[in-house]
Structure 1
Amino acid sequence: MKKYILILSIFMVLISCKHEKPVMHKKAAPTRTKPKAVGYHFEKTKSWLATTNDSAKIWIVLAVNRTDKANIVKMDSIIVPKDLSGDMAYYLPFPLEVSALENVSKIIFFSYATQTFATYEYGYLIRTGPTNMGRKADKTPTGLFFTNWKAEKTTSTFNDEWDLKWNFNVANKLGVGWHQYELPGYPASHSCLRLQERDAKYLYDWADEWVLVNDQTIKLKGTPVVIFGSYNFDAPKPWHQLVRKPKALNISEATIEKEVQPFLSKILSEQKKRENSKQ
């Protein structure tokens, strides 16, 4: 009888293991406030700023116009959402969720076409904002990169009078990275990824540095960064289309999946190395 019970117990364990699914990473979707509707119109910059002191609304308008507080005042007119009651994510083009990224702990995207960035954790959009990338003569390279070294403040290699705050390099040999610098509202950099200071500081703290052995050999790569798309430098600013078509710049989940798919195995492999190093 005891032998029968033992065999039955082993059989039940084997059946249980056979049907047990692999443990997946879980993360709750961020809670966000959605505006009732997303529409846009042009307004005179000085008039709008004179009647608005809500900082949350100002940050949204800065993002929609791909600019910062110092440069928005130089613009004659700006794009303004008709309903500013929602969270930033609803006014910028990246999807809130990408199922293809459900096993990726951290990843950053920069869209050349829309001049925006987005970070994801296990498939959920965590942060998004505006960027001004490389100008026509110095285009930002596209493809897969990994963050490497960072510095709270460094000096530009193009001009030693340019101080770059919260600098995080992504292409070491090319000298390309993100940092805080003025956003005039169009691609204007010497190939780097310009950000508002609050976004540059956030990414500086959020992303991982590489790990080196003897200051030379790369032991662990940093956070994956995918830079994709192209910008039509001879056309009007693409976000001006939003007045006629509010969803004109939307980036679909399928588009993100298509961009990341060629790199996914590499991203997960490097992620596994970092995870194993912590054990």
Structure 2
Amino acid sequence: MQKFILILALITIFYSCKQQNSDTFVFKKKIERKQPKSISFHFENTKQWLNQNPSSMELKIVRAVNRTDKNHLTKMDSILIPGDLSGDIVFYLPFPLEVPYLLPVNKIIFFSYPTQTFAAYENGELIYAGPTNMGRKNDPTPTGLFFTNWKAERTTSTFNDEWDLRWNFNIANKVGVGWHQYELPGYPASHSCLRLQEKDAKYLYTWADQWILKDDQNILFKGTPVIIFGKYDFDAPKPWLQLANNPKALNISPSEIENITKPYLETILLEQRKKEKSAQ
């Protein structure tokens, strides 16, 4: 009996290792999330709602829904409020929780221009999401595939040396585009960079990988892939205001993420293999 158990254990280990070295991927253990009973949105007077003493988590959700930060929320006359605030923040934002097409991709970040939100995935599973304020009309954020390059916990803006940027992570070195903490007025207002709340900027700063340089002129392998997609209609009302009439108006489907990623997947996996090979 003991001999049989030993043989069975060896077979199990063999096939487990074989699967890890094959092109077959499976989702990691799913993150436990608290889902609200329903998703709906309505408008409320800002001061009246704040006077109800919402919890810190409720405040975080409402700021994300309105694509703004603590200081700018209080300046708004009315704000969008979810009918049920008991869930995790990802349920109030448009990105899907799972994207099977991204299973072979270890890490990737998406920034959606039309919804002013971002999402980070590991092997197809959403692990973090939040609001962003991207490039204004005269200084739009470039779209397409980028990779994280260098980072700095504190740096100075190239547009104004009085602007202090925290948790800055560059994604387009030649044009100076990256994400960082800065004020979120609730609409695209930056000079092409990706503005984030401090907690979100710090999380991505720690989570994403820097590039590795071979020398001053050559890159050994690039950092974490970042895809910026879509267009923002600067002449129309804020897109998320539609949620009051249709809570699914901004939802991004797994198939949409697949279509956005497909033109870049070969490049993404090539850079990923370079990194894996260098770690061996």
TM-score normalised by length of structure 1: 0.92
Spell out the pairing of 1:144-159 with structure 2 (5 A cutoff).
144-159=145-160
Please give the alpha-carbon distance, in whole angstroms, between the structure 1 residues aligned to 2:98 and 2:176.
31
Q: State whether structure 2 residue 245 is matched by structure 1 residue 244.
A: yes
Q: Deviations over 1:153-176 (max 9, x none)?
A: 000011111000000000001100
Q: Deviations over 1:37-86 (max 9, x none)?
A: 00000011111111123001100000000000011011000000000000
Q: State whether structure 2 residue 256 is matched by structure 1 residue 255.
A: yes
- Tell me the residue number matched to 1:265: 266
Please give the alpha-carbon distance, in whole angstroms, between the structure 1 residues aligned to 2:217 and 2:224.
19
- Tell me the residue number matched to 1:179: 180
Q: Tell me, yes or no, if the aligned pair for 1:132 and 1:187 is still in contact at 8 Å.
A: yes
Give the letter aligned to residue 106 of structure 2.
S
Spell out the pairing of 1:205-220 with structure 2 (5 A cutoff).
205-220=206-221
RMSD of the alignment, in Å? 1.5
Structure 2 residue runs of 5 or longer lacking an equivalent are 1-10
Structure with bigger gyration radius: 1
Please give the alpha-carbon distance, in whole angstroms, between the structure 2 residues aligned to 1:268 and 1:176.
23
Please give the alpha-carbon distance, in whole angstroms, between the structure 2 residues aligned to 1:29 and 1:99.
13
User: 1:26: how far off?
Assistant: 4.8
Q: Deviations over 1:215-240 (max 9, x none)?
A: 33111100000000000000001110
Give the letter aligned to residue 270 of structure 1.
E
Q: Tell me, yes or no, if the aligned pair for 1:62 and 1:72 is still in contact at 8 Å.
A: yes
- Tell me the residue number matched to 2:92: 91
Structure 1 residue runs of 5 or longer lacking an equivalent are 1-12
- Tell me the residue number matched to 2:132: 131
Task: Provide the secondary structure at the position in 1 that maps to 2:185.
Answer: coil
Please give the alpha-carbon distance, in whole angstroms, between the structure 2 residues aligned to 1:277 and 1:73.
49
- Tell me the residue number matched to 1:48: 49
Higher mean C-alpha deviation, range 222-231 or range 47-56: 47-56
Give the letter aligned to residue 162 of structure 1.
W
What is the identity percentage for the equivalent residue pairs of Structure 1 and Structure 2? 66
Please give the alpha-carbon distance, in whole angstroms, between the structure 2 residues aligned to 1:25 and 1:82.
35
Q: Tell me, yes or no, if the aligned pair for 2:110 and 2:118 is still in contact at 8 Å.
A: yes
Task: Provide the secondary structure at the position in 1 that maps to 2:132.
Answer: strand
Please give the alpha-carbon distance, in whole angstroms, between the structure 2 residues aligned to 1:28 and 1:263.
26
Spell out the pairing of 1:17-32 with structure 2 (5 A cutoff).
22=22, 24=25, 26-32=27-33
Please give the alpha-carbon distance, in whole angstroms, between the structure 2 residues aligned to 1:149 and 1:224.
13
Q: Tell me, yes or no, if the aligned pair for 2:27 and 2:125 is still in contact at 8 Å.
A: no
Please give the alpha-carbon distance, in whole angstroms, between the structure 2 residues aligned to 1:66 and 1:159.
24
Give the letter aligned to residue 161 of structure 1.
E
- Tell me the residue number matched to 1:165: 166
Give the letter aligned to residue 199 of structure 2.
R
Task: Provide the secondary structure at the position in 1 that maps to 2:168.
Answer: strand
* Moved segments of 4+, more than 6 Å: none
- Tell me the residue number matched to 2:8: none
- Tell me the residue number matched to 1:223: 224
Higher mean C-alpha deviation, range 213-222 or range 74-83: 213-222
Task: Provide the secondary structure at the position in 2 that maps to 1:129.
Answer: strand
TM-score normalised by length of structure 2: 0.91
Give the letter aligned to residue 242 of structure 2.
Q
Please give the alpha-carbon distance, in whole angstroms, between the structure 2 residues aligned to 1:271 and 1:213.
16
| Number of residues of Structure 1 aligned to a counterpart in Structure 2 | 263
Please give the alpha-carbon distance, in whole angstroms, between the structure 1 residues aligned to 2:53 and 2:208.
34
User: 1:25: how far off?
Assistant: 5.8
Please give the alpha-carbon distance, in whole angstroms, between the structure 2 residues aligned to 1:64 and 1:163.
26
Please give the alpha-carbon distance, in whole angstroms, between the structure 1 residues aligned to 2:29 and 2:264.
25
- Tell me the residue number matched to 2:66: 65
